């Protein structure tokens, strides 16, 4: 551990703790809360179904050869899209300390996804139930959120960056095929172009094994607040190298990063990041630093 | 989670969770509120602690609570900024008074002064960087654990840590500390 590490650790040592009174109050209150939630949950199930039904008209009942399977398939607009291979689902809203939390419960599997609806934010979620190659189910919740009123461009990159990063761990061929199918189905049904395009591009990147190294929303590059997506292509760079990466962030905006790599670790030095310009590109080229143009 | 699970969690890791809340908010009153909300939410969302007598199982739940606290505070922080209701350095801010020690030697006094300065510097970092600093240095979590908790790539955790450390280093150097 470096001296700086020790100093930070030392500075954060403290001896404060919650009072016994506060802890006792919490323990006393939780018993009451549990009862309240059960009542609230029962009362809100009917209401939330009605809202979903009226708002987007996305609840469907499907008949299959195996009998009636109820499922919920949503349009991924400002709500959610559920992809699964046949499981009873139940959607309801509960109130937790004054905050509405949407829940989707896979009743057969005893799995519940919670989607906090934060004030001022819209969350886009894609729920996947994927049958793994080992026979077990994976429940995957892909989500990205943007502030209400944000541009569609922001929405596009939030989904593109956030979703791709969250699914890259699923690389088994069985799982991957189902996830790709879900992404494409969700893209087909999306009402918003930015969502449709983002899901299509996520599917393309995922299919072509592109991975994300870092995303930051907003990213701090020279104290500017910009979206940053850095793909993991840098892992192919030589150890010990110092490279300049031109990384596509979006069609209009690119960054140049300085990458430091050593045997144990590698990181992107954000302080050295800069908005791409032809002049700056020329400047670093003249320093004879290797340039990896990832556009 | 049962009431007994929660009791066990508070007994074993309540202090950690509270201190994390305190580092985030910088004020006892706000830390009390955040701690309370965090435990209520954990109680409601966490189905159960696998084995309340198992240390690693309890530690996972502690980490889960730290994640809840970070998310809850993010919302509070954004609302504060949006509504400009109060700033972080108003009269409620009692962050440093709580760390005062009995420094009876010059060396200890200087150490306290550095710690005080460093805590203030950390507290003035952007929230995203602060979160990873607290989780890494205070909660002793690995980059992988933080990545999983905050749902961000490991690369992002590393770069935030690195950026934060560089910023702190510069501030210390400016102040004349080596």
Where a domain ends, among B95, B130, B147? Answer: B95
Whether residues B13 and B85 fall in one domain: yes
* B73 inside 8 A of chain A by CB: no
B52 and B109 share one domain: no
Q: Which two tokens stand for residue B162?
A: 């690195």
Final residue before a domain boundary, out of B63, B95, B127: B95
Whether residue B159 and residue A216 make contact (CB cut-off 8 A), yes or no, is: yes
Beta-ladder partners of A15: none
- Residues B136, B119: one domain? yes
Listing DSSP states for B17-76 in one string gives HHHHHHHHH-SHHHHHHHHHHHHHHHHHH----S-TT-HHHHHHHHHHHHHHHHHHHHHH
Q: What pLDDT score does B19 carry?
A: 94
Same-domain pairing of B1 and B89: yes
Task: Please check whether residues B24 and B67 belong to one and the same domain.
Answer: yes
Q: What is the Cβ-side half-sphere exposure of residue A85, based on CA atoms within 13 angstroms? A: 14
Interface of B with A in 97-126 (CB under 8 A): 98-99, 111, 114-115, 118-119, 122, 126
What's A238's DSSP letter? P
Residue B171 sits in a domain whose CATH number is 1.10.10.10
Size of interface A-B (CB pairs under 8 A): 128
Among the candidates B39, B60, B95, a domain finishes at B95
* Helices H / strands E in chain B, number of each: 7, 0
Instruction: Please check whether residue B46 touches A, CB under 8 A.
Output: no
User: What is the DSSP secondary structure assignment for residue A79, as one 8-state letter?
Assistant: S
User: Is the CB of residue A37 less than 8 Å away from at least one CB of chain B?
Assistant: yes
Residue A176 has what pLDDT? 92
Using a cut of 0.90, tell me whether the model's pTM lies above it: no
Residues B75 and B144 in one domain: no
What does the domain layout of chain A look like in residue ranges?
26-210, 212-295
Q: What end-to-end distance do the CA atoms of chain A give, in Å?
A: 37
pLDDT band at A220 (very low <50, low <70, confident <90, very high): low
Using the Cβ of B71 and the Cβ atoms of chain A, whether some distance falls under 8 Å is answered with yes
Closest CA to A206 of A285, A278, A126: A126
What residues of chain A lie within 8 A of the CB of B133, using their CB? Answer: 8
Q: Tell me whether B34 touches chain A (CB under 8 Å).
A: no
SS3 category, B135: helix
Is B117:B177 a contact under the CB 8 Å cutoff?
yes
Write the pLDDT tens digit of every residue in B25-49: 988 999 999 999 999 888 876 656 6
Nearest CA in chain B to A269: B159
Strand-pair partners of A245: A257, A292
pLDDT tens track for B130-167: 999 999 999 999 998 998 888 888 888 888 888 888 88
Domain around B57:
1-95
- The answer to whether residues B91 and B145 belong to one domain is no
Q: Does residue B62 share a domain with residue B28?
A: yes
B-proximal residues of A, 171-200, CB under 8 Å: none
Number of domains in chain B: 2
């Amino acid at each position: 551990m470096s001296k700086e590490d020790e100093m930070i650790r030392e500075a954060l040592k403290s001896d404060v703790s919650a009072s016994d009174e506060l802890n006792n109050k919490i323990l006393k209150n939780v018993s009451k809360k549990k009862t309240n939630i059960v009542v609230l949950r029962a009362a809100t199930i009917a209401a939330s179904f009605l809202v979903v039904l009226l708002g987007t008209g996305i609840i469907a009942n499907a008949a299959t050869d195996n009998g009636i399977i109820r499922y919920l398939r949503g349009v991924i607009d400002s709500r959610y899209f559920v992809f699964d291979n046949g499981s009873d689902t139940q959607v309801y809203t509960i109130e937790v300390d004054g905050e509405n939390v949407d829940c989707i419960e896979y009743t057969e599997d005893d799995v519940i996804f919670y989607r906090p609806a934060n004030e001022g934010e819209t969350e886009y979620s894609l729920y996947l139930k994927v049958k793994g190659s080992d026979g077990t189910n994976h429940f995957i919740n892909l989500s990205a959120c943007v502030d209400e009123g944000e541009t569609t461009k922001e929405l596009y990159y939030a989904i593109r960056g956030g979703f791709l990063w969250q699914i890259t761990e699923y690389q088994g061929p069985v799982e991957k095929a189902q996830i790709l199918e879900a992404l494409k189905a969700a893209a087909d049904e999306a009402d918003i172009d930015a969502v449709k395009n983002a899901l299509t591009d996520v599917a393309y990147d995922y299919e072509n094994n592109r991975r994300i190294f870092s995303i930051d929303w907003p990213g701090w590059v020279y104290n500017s607040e910009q979206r940053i997506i850095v793909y993991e292509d840098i892992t192919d760079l030589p150890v010990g190298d110092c490279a300049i990466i031109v990384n596509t962030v979006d069609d209009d905006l690119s960054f140049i990063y300085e990458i430091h790599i050593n045997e144990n670790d590698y990181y992107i030095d954000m302080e050295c990041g800069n908005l791409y310009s032809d002049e700056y590109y020329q400047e670093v080229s003249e320093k004879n630093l290797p340039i990896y143009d990832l556009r | 989670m049962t009431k007994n699970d929660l009791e066990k969690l508070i007994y074993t890791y309540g202090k950690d969770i509270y201190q994390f809340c305190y580092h985030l908010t910088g004020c006892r009153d706000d830390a009390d509120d955040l701690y309370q909300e965090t435990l209520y939410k954990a109680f409601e969302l966490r189905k159960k602690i696998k084995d309340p007598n198992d240390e690693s199982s309890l530690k996972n739940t502690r980490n889960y609570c730290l994640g809840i606290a970070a998310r809850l505070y993010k919302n509070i922080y954004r609302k504060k900024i949006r509504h400009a209701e109060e700033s972080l350095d108003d009269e409620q801010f009692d962050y440093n008074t709580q760390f005062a020690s009995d420094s009876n030697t010059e060396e200890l006094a200087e150490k306290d002064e550095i710690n005080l300065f460093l805590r203030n510097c950390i507290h003035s970092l952007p929230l995203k960087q602060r979160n990873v600093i607290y989780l890494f240095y205070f909660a002793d979590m690995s980059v992988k654990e933080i990545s999983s908790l905050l749902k961000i790539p490991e690369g992002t955790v590393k770069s935030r840590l690195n950026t934060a450390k560089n910023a702190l280093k510069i501030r210390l150097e400016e102040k004349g500390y080596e």
